[in-house]
Amino acid sequence: MGEDDRHDLELHRLVSARERSAFDELYRRYARSAYGVALRVTSQDLIAREVVQDAFLALWRAPEAFDPTRGAFRSFFLSLVHHRAVDAVRREERLRRRTERAANLEPATGEDPAEDVVEDAYLRVRRKEVRAALTTLPPAQQQVLEMAYLDGKTQARIAEELGIPIGTVKTRTLAAMRKLREALREE
Protein backbone atom coordinates (compact mmCIF):
# COMPACT_ATOMS: atom_id res chain seq x y z
CA MET A 1 0.00 0.00 0.00
CA GLY A 2 1.41 3.37 -1.00
CA GLU A 3 1.73 6.51 1.09
CA ASP A 4 -1.24 8.10 -0.65
CA ASP A 5 -3.44 5.09 -0.01
CA ARG A 6 -2.47 5.24 3.65
CA HIS A 7 -3.30 8.94 3.71
CA ASP A 8 -6.71 8.12 2.23
CA LEU A 9 -7.25 5.55 4.96
CA GLU A 10 -6.45 8.10 7.62
CA LEU A 11 -8.80 10.63 6.04
CA HIS A 12 -11.50 7.98 5.86
CA ARG A 13 -10.96 7.15 9.53
CA LEU A 14 -11.39 10.82 10.39
CA VAL A 15 -14.53 11.07 8.26
CA SER A 16 -15.91 8.10 10.20
CA ALA A 17 -15.25 10.19 13.32
CA ARG A 18 -17.29 12.99 11.69
CA GLU A 19 -14.28 15.19 10.96
CA ARG A 20 -15.53 17.66 8.36
CA SER A 21 -12.04 18.87 7.38
CA ALA A 22 -11.07 15.30 6.44
CA PHE A 23 -14.21 15.07 4.31
CA ASP A 24 -13.25 18.30 2.56
CA GLU A 25 -9.77 16.94 1.96
CA LEU A 26 -11.20 13.79 0.34
CA TYR A 27 -13.44 16.01 -1.75
CA ARG A 28 -10.42 18.03 -2.84
CA ARG A 29 -8.58 14.85 -3.77
CA TYR A 30 -11.35 13.08 -5.65
CA ALA A 31 -13.98 15.58 -6.81
CA ARG A 32 -12.30 16.18 -10.18
CA SER A 33 -11.94 12.52 -11.00
CA ALA A 34 -15.46 11.84 -9.74
CA TYR A 35 -16.97 14.66 -11.72
CA GLY A 36 -14.94 13.69 -14.77
CA VAL A 37 -16.20 10.12 -14.86
CA ALA A 38 -19.76 11.12 -13.93
CA LEU A 39 -19.79 13.65 -16.74
CA ARG A 40 -18.32 11.13 -19.16
CA VAL A 41 -20.89 8.46 -18.32
CA THR A 42 -23.98 10.64 -18.04
CA SER A 43 -22.95 13.31 -20.57
CA GLN A 44 -25.18 15.71 -18.67
CA ASP A 45 -23.81 18.32 -16.34
CA LEU A 46 -26.79 18.46 -13.98
CA ILE A 47 -26.96 14.70 -13.59
CA ALA A 48 -23.21 14.48 -13.11
CA ARG A 49 -23.42 17.02 -10.30
CA GLU A 50 -26.17 15.04 -8.63
CA VAL A 51 -24.15 11.86 -8.97
CA VAL A 52 -21.06 13.40 -7.37
CA GLN A 53 -23.07 15.06 -4.63
CA ASP A 54 -24.87 11.81 -3.83
CA ALA A 55 -21.62 9.90 -3.74
CA PHE A 56 -19.96 12.31 -1.32
CA LEU A 57 -23.08 12.44 0.82
CA ALA A 58 -23.14 8.66 0.91
CA LEU A 59 -19.52 8.71 2.04
CA TRP A 60 -20.31 11.14 4.84
CA ARG A 61 -23.45 9.37 5.98
CA ALA A 62 -22.29 5.78 5.72
CA PRO A 63 -18.47 5.74 5.76
CA GLU A 64 -18.60 2.17 7.03
CA ALA A 65 -19.56 1.08 3.51
CA PHE A 66 -15.83 1.21 2.70
CA ASP A 67 -14.00 -1.91 3.84
CA PRO A 68 -10.23 -1.26 3.82
CA THR A 69 -9.51 -4.99 3.66
CA ARG A 70 -11.05 -5.15 0.18
CA GLY A 71 -8.94 -2.57 -1.60
CA ALA A 72 -7.93 1.05 -1.86
CA PHE A 73 -10.27 3.86 -0.91
CA ARG A 74 -9.68 5.38 -4.34
CA SER A 75 -11.11 2.32 -6.08
CA PHE A 76 -14.02 2.10 -3.68
CA PHE A 77 -15.03 5.72 -4.05
CA LEU A 78 -14.61 6.00 -7.80
CA SER A 79 -16.55 2.73 -8.21
CA LEU A 80 -19.31 4.24 -6.12
CA VAL A 81 -19.42 7.29 -8.38
CA HIS A 82 -19.36 5.15 -11.51
CA HIS A 83 -22.13 2.92 -10.19
CA ARG A 84 -24.33 5.91 -9.45
CA ALA A 85 -23.60 7.42 -12.83
CA VAL A 86 -24.57 4.21 -14.64
CA ASP A 87 -27.70 3.93 -12.50
CA ALA A 88 -28.61 7.50 -13.42
CA VAL A 89 -28.12 6.83 -17.11
CA ARG A 90 -30.20 3.65 -17.05
CA ARG A 91 -32.97 5.27 -15.02
CA GLU A 92 -33.20 8.00 -17.57
CA GLU A 93 -33.02 5.50 -20.39
CA ARG A 94 -35.93 3.57 -18.99
CA LEU A 95 -38.01 6.71 -18.78
CA ARG A 96 -37.34 7.78 -22.32
CA ARG A 97 -35.18 5.85 -24.73
CA ARG A 98 -32.37 8.23 -25.21
CA THR A 99 -31.53 9.61 -28.58
CA GLU A 100 -28.01 9.36 -29.82
CA ARG A 101 -25.43 10.44 -27.33
CA ALA A 102 -23.54 13.59 -28.04
CA ALA A 103 -20.77 12.67 -30.44
CA ASN A 104 -18.26 15.16 -29.14
CA LEU A 105 -17.26 13.41 -25.91
CA GLU A 106 -13.60 13.18 -25.24
CA PRO A 107 -11.99 9.81 -25.87
CA ALA A 108 -11.16 7.53 -22.97
CA THR A 109 -7.57 7.39 -24.01
CA GLY A 110 -5.17 9.58 -25.88
CA GLU A 111 -4.81 13.30 -25.56
CA ASP A 112 -6.43 14.71 -22.51
CA PRO A 113 -8.28 17.97 -23.07
CA ALA A 114 -8.28 18.63 -19.34
CA GLU A 115 -4.64 18.14 -18.49
CA ASP A 116 -4.57 21.59 -16.99
CA VAL A 117 -6.91 20.49 -14.20
CA VAL A 118 -4.93 20.58 -10.99
CA GLU A 119 -4.93 17.29 -9.11
CA ASP A 120 -2.74 15.42 -6.70
CA ALA A 121 0.44 14.09 -8.22
CA TYR A 122 -0.31 10.49 -7.30
CA LEU A 123 -3.68 10.62 -9.07
CA ARG A 124 -2.03 12.13 -12.11
CA VAL A 125 0.52 9.32 -12.08
CA ARG A 126 -2.15 6.67 -11.63
CA ARG A 127 -4.21 8.19 -14.41
CA LYS A 128 -1.26 7.91 -16.76
CA GLU A 129 -0.75 4.30 -15.71
CA VAL A 130 -4.41 3.48 -16.37
CA ARG A 131 -4.35 5.11 -19.78
CA ALA A 132 -1.08 3.48 -20.69
CA ALA A 133 -2.52 0.11 -19.69
CA LEU A 134 -5.60 0.75 -21.81
CA THR A 135 -3.48 1.46 -24.86
CA THR A 136 -1.89 -1.98 -24.57
CA LEU A 137 -5.27 -3.63 -25.11
CA PRO A 138 -6.25 -4.80 -28.58
CA PRO A 139 -8.72 -2.28 -30.08
CA ALA A 140 -11.58 -4.80 -29.93
CA GLN A 141 -11.07 -5.24 -26.18
CA GLN A 142 -10.73 -1.51 -25.63
CA GLN A 143 -13.97 -0.99 -27.47
CA VAL A 144 -16.11 -3.34 -25.37
CA LEU A 145 -14.56 -2.02 -22.17
CA GLU A 146 -15.29 1.57 -23.10
CA MET A 147 -18.84 0.78 -24.17
CA ALA A 148 -19.47 -1.04 -20.91
CA TYR A 149 -17.72 1.24 -18.47
CA LEU A 150 -17.88 4.71 -19.93
CA ASP A 151 -21.09 4.38 -21.91
CA GLY A 152 -22.86 2.28 -19.26
CA LYS A 153 -24.08 -0.28 -21.81
CA THR A 154 -24.96 -3.86 -20.99
CA GLN A 155 -23.09 -6.71 -22.64
CA ALA A 156 -26.29 -7.67 -24.47
CA ARG A 157 -26.58 -4.21 -25.92
CA ILE A 158 -22.90 -4.07 -26.84
CA ALA A 159 -23.27 -7.37 -28.69
CA GLU A 160 -26.31 -6.01 -30.51
CA GLU A 161 -24.63 -2.76 -31.49
CA LEU A 162 -21.42 -4.42 -32.64
CA GLY A 163 -23.23 -7.32 -34.30
CA ILE A 164 -21.18 -9.93 -32.49
CA PRO A 165 -22.22 -12.82 -30.21
CA ILE A 166 -22.59 -11.91 -26.56
CA GLY A 167 -20.11 -14.68 -25.76
CA THR A 168 -17.48 -12.72 -27.68
CA VAL A 169 -18.27 -9.61 -25.65
CA LYS A 170 -17.83 -11.61 -22.45
CA THR A 171 -14.55 -13.11 -23.59
CA ARG A 172 -13.14 -9.75 -24.69
CA THR A 173 -14.27 -8.11 -21.48
CA LEU A 174 -12.62 -10.71 -19.27
CA ALA A 175 -9.43 -10.69 -21.31
CA ALA A 176 -9.26 -6.91 -21.07
CA MET A 177 -9.91 -6.87 -17.34
CA ARG A 178 -7.27 -9.52 -16.74
CA LYS A 179 -4.67 -7.57 -18.70
CA LEU A 180 -5.51 -4.40 -16.84
CA ARG A 181 -5.36 -6.25 -13.54
CA GLU A 182 -1.84 -7.39 -14.28
CA ALA A 183 -0.73 -4.02 -15.59
CA LEU A 184 -2.20 -2.06 -12.70
CA ARG A 185 -1.45 -4.44 -9.86
CA GLU A 186 -0.14 -2.46 -6.91
CA GLU A 187 2.43 -3.73 -4.47
Binders of other proteins among residues 107 to 126 (CB under 8 A) are: 108-109, 112-114, 117, 119, 123, 126
Q: Which of 1, 13, 156, 160 binds other proteins (CB under 8 A)?
A: 156
Contact of 180 with 141, CB cutoff 8 Å: no
In the complex, the smallest distance separating the C-beta of residue 22 from other proteins, rounded to whole angstroms, is 13
At residue 67's C-alpha, the angle toward residues 64 and 73, to 5°, is 100
- Give dist(CA 153, CA 134) in Å, integer: 19
Closer Cβ to other proteins, 109 or 143, answer by number? 109
Is 87 a binder of other proteins (CB under 8 A)? yes
- x/- mask, other proteins, residues 28-57, rule CB under 8 A, reads ---xxxxxxx-xxx-------x--xxx-xx
Helices (H), the chain: 3-16, 20-42, 45-61, 73-95, 121-135, 139-149, 155-162, 166-184
- Count the residues of the shown chain that bind other proteins, applying the rule CB under 8 A: 82
Q: Which of 14, 122, 127, 168 binds other proteins (CB under 8 A)?
A: 127
Counting every residue written for the chain, the total comes to: 187
